Amino acid sequence: MPHEATIRWRADVELEAVVLEQFRHGPLRAADVNAPVSPVDAFQQAFYAWVQRQMREPLRFISFGLDLCDTNAVQDLIQHQYEHDEFKAAGPLHLGVKLENEWVHEIGALAQPLREAHPLLLYTLFNLVDRVSGKTVLIRTPGWFLCEASCPHWEGDESATDDEVSGWMMDFYGGDKEVVDRFLPSVLRPQLCPDEIRFPAKVPGRRSLNQVLSENELRRLQSGATPLVTQVCVELAALHRLLRRAGNRPLLYDGYEARPMYSGCTFVLENNERISETLDDYLNGEYQGGEATDYSCFLTFSDQKQGIRAQYAQWSLALQMLRHVDRLLALVVSP
C-alpha cells in the first residue's frame, strides 16, 4: 500500500456532507489531520492514516492501492466500457480499489518442505488464498488458470477428458492435430493446476472430509516443524480467523465491478511456459477489448451511521487479509 495515493476530485461541494459523516460515525481520527485546506483535505488525510493503521507496512508482493474519487472521476475512468451506464452513484464519494501491475510469483523449490510437513499444506495454502481473493481483490492462482484454459478449449469443463473434447477440438482447430495435442486436458491441466492443488489425495487416518487443514491442525503442525513451516501455519491460521469473521460479506467487491486489467498478483506453484502463455493471452485480449481499467471496483461511501460503521469494518478485514497474504507470500515465494 503506497504512503501516498492519487486523489481524483473535480468538485468538492457535494462531498462535504458525506465527509463530515465519516468523521462523526467512522473510525477516522482528527489527530491525523494537519492544517487541512478543506473538509475534503481533512478527510483524505484521516482516511489514509486509517488505512496505514490497518496495513501497518506497505505490501511487497501484492499490487494494491486505494483512490478516493468523486462521481465525475469514476465516470471518466469507465466511460469506454459497454456497461458503464450500470454505474449508479448512490452518493458523491467513492473508493477505487486500484490494481496497477501484474506481478508473477511462484513457490518453486520452496514447495517441497511444505509437502514434507503435510500432504495437504499446499492445498490449504492455495485454498485460503483463493477464499481471500474472492472477498478482496483477484489473485490469479492455479485454479484461475485452469478456468481460463477450459473455457476456450474444453467448453468450460475443467474436468474434461481427452476423449470427451478431442473431437470438438479437431473441428474447432480445423483438424490441426499439433495444436489440439498442445491443449488436450491431459497435457495442459497438469501444467496449470496440478492435482495436488486441485484434488489432493486423502490422507490415511485423517477423519475430516474437508481437505483444508483446520486451525487446530495447523497449530499442531507447528510442533517440531521447521521455522518456514511454523510461520506458514501461523499466517494460514490468521487467514482462517479473518475469513470466519468475514462470513459471507464481499468486503471489497460490494460495488461497481470495473473490469480490471491486472490482478493483485499471479501466484502459482510453478511459473512455466503454459502459465505465461495463458496470462499473456488474457492480458492481450483485455487490452485489445479496450474496456479494462486499473481498478477492481468502485465502492460508494455510505452517509448513514450503520452503513458507515459496516463499511469500515469490512474494509478493515479486507486490508488485514491482504496484509497476511502478503506476509505469507514473503515466506513461500521463490527468491
Provide long-range contacts, Cβ within 8 A and 24+ apart, for 48-57: 48/4, 48/5, 50/26, 50/312, 51/1, 51/319, 52/1, 52/3, 54/315, 54/316, 54/319, 54/320, 54/323, 55/1, 55/319, 55/322, 55/323, 56/323, 57/323
In a domain, 331, yes or no: no
In a domain, 160, yes or no: no
pLDDT digits (tens, 9 = 90+) for 76-98: 999 999 988 889 899 999 999 99
pLDDT digits (tens, 9 = 90+) for 32-64: 999 999 888 999 999 999 999 999 999 999 999
pLDDT digits (tens, 9 = 90+) for 208-217: 989 999 999 9
Match 477492481 to its residue by C-alpha cell: 296
Q: Residue 95 is part of which domain span? A: 7-100+250-266+290-319
Match 487446530 to its residue by C-alpha cell: 216
Number of CB atoms found within 10 A of residue 316's CB: 17
In a domain, 36, yes or no: yes
User: Would you state the pLDDT for residue 86?
Assistant: 87
Q: Please state, in angstroms and rounded to a whole number, the distance separating the CA atoms of residues 329 and 6.
A: 26
In a domain, 257, yes or no: yes
> What is the tally of structural domains in the chain?
1
In a domain, 44, yes or no: yes
Query: What single DSSP character describes residue 144?
Result: H
Locate all alpha helices (DSSP H) within 68-222, ordered by sequence.
71-78, 111-117, 121-133, 142-153, 162-172, 177-182, 185-192, 195-198, 215-221
pLDDT digits (tens, 9 = 90+) for 228-265: 999 999 999 999 999 999 999 999 999 999 999 999 99
User: Would you state the pLDDT for residue 12?
Assistant: 65
In a domain, 67, yes or no: yes
Q: Please state, in angstroms and rounded to a whole number, the distance separating the CA atoms of residues 85 and 99.
A: 22
In a domain, 60, yes or no: yes
In a domain, 140, yes or no: no
Q: Which of 100, 141, 111 is nearest to 262 (CA)?
A: 100
Counting every residue written for the chain, the total comes to 335
User: Would you state the pLDDT for residue 4?
Assistant: 43
